[in-house]
Amino acid sequence: MTTVFAYAAPSASGELGPFSYEPRNLRNDDVEIKILYCGVCHTDLHKCRNHWGGSQYPLVPGHEIVGKVARVGTSVTKYKLGDVAAVGCLVDSCGNCRSCKDGLENYCENAPTLTYDADDRKDGKRLYGGYSESITVRESFVLRVPSGLDVKSAAPLLCAGITMWSPLRNWKVNSKSKVAVAGLGGLGHMGIKLAKGLGAHVTLLSRSPGKATDGRRLGADDVLITTDEAAVARASNRFDIILDTVPYDHDVNPYLSLLRRDGNLVLLGLIGNIQATPLNTGPMLSARRSVSGSGIGGIQETQELLDFCAAKKILPDVEMIAIQEINDAYERLIKGDVKYRFVIDIESLSKVRG
């Protein structure tokens, strides 16, 4: 394949549309994947619209990638042609720092190489994401999709799934834990399913009363509507951990009081500065509560997640779209109108190729 077809954002304000590029040469330790499905993360939207500054265009988003191995380099041993494989948010890291040696490449002290809107570590070539026909990635950053996982709906595990799994594992959530998940979107719905899979008692914290039934259907034992101040006040000292997936600036102080002593509010939304309401240290000091963050996950724990989901039959709830629907999908994402992850059927790109 000499030219790869994709969909790209041309600028922060422009709609995504057809784009083609020359892929990099296959290196000895590379795997080329023909992409079948790619999930749509809220991060894709943040990146395309330059919410954090620094986005470079044309920008091909997509870091929830599932496909089939189409080519392998001469030293590749783990994958062969036709294997179902996946790529998440990372495609490389330094390999030498403490985090990389601990299998936490996501926290590489020399900055991990992200799947898109980044430059290749070796040759500096621009990297494009999964809204594309194919991707070429180092073997050690490719994941194996176990045969028990449905290929069509597995893609969101690669970002939404691992972003929830990593803190659940790091803070040792188990059948005695009381977990709350704030925001029922792509990340949130996986948080509910995975925390339930680990045996925890799970509560959904949502601003949307209309999502209560779905929250329970997805496995939540309880639902707390965050706009109901009286109900929030009654729920103080309840949770060991809150996984907060809200993507925009919001007041986190009410959440802190919901934590038990030693509880932890884990911020996952890529908010930047919390400005709306300053953080009050009172609830932290009065019950040794913490505020922390967590960013995606390492390669080893992502494989662990895929294997766990295959064994437990846990899958994302997806709405399949064609690439031509992506701009509408972004508008729906902003409105919270998705149940609960859009996945692009990459076959639809063939209409662009003609």
| Residue 303 DSSP SS3 | helix
Whole-number minimum distance, CB 98 to ligand NAP, in Å? 19
Determine which residue in the list 8, 41, 202, 343 makes contact with Zn ion, applying CB under 5 A: 41
In the chain, the largest separation of any two C-alpha atoms, in whole Å, equals 63
* 228 Cβ contact list (under 8 Å, min separation 6): none
By CB under 6 A, is residue 46 in contact with ligand NAP?
Answer: yes
Per-residue contact string for residues 148-167; x = within reach of Zn ion by CB under 5 A: -----------x--------
Q: Looking at residues 323 to 342 of the shown chain, list those that interact with ligand NAP (rule: CB under 6 A).
A: 333, 336
Per-residue contact string for residues 161-200; x = within reach of ligand NAP by CB under 6 A: --x-------------------xxxxxx------------
By CB under 6 A, is residue 58 in contact with ligand NAP?
Answer: no
Dist CA 265 CA 296 (whole Å):
16
Helix, strand, coil percentages (3-state) for the chain, rounded to 5, are 30, 25, 45
166 binds, options ligand NAP, Zn ion, none, Cβ within 5 to 8 A by partner type: none
Whole-number minimum distance, CB 41 to Zn ion, in Å? 3
Q: Looking at residues 218 to 247 of the shown chain, list those that interact with ligand NAP (rule: CB under 6 A).
A: 245-247
* 211 Cβ contact list (under 8 Å, min separation 6): 184, 204, 223
* 208 Cβ contact list (under 8 Å, min separation 6): 184, 225, 336
Instruction: Look up residue 292 and give its two tokens.
Output: 């922390």
By CB under 6 A, is residue 295 in contact with ligand NAP?
Answer: yes
Structural element, H or E, at residue 4? strand 4-8
Residues that bind ligand NAP (CB under 6 A): 41-43, 46, 159-160, 163, 183-188, 206-208, 211, 245-248, 268-270, 294-296, 333, 336
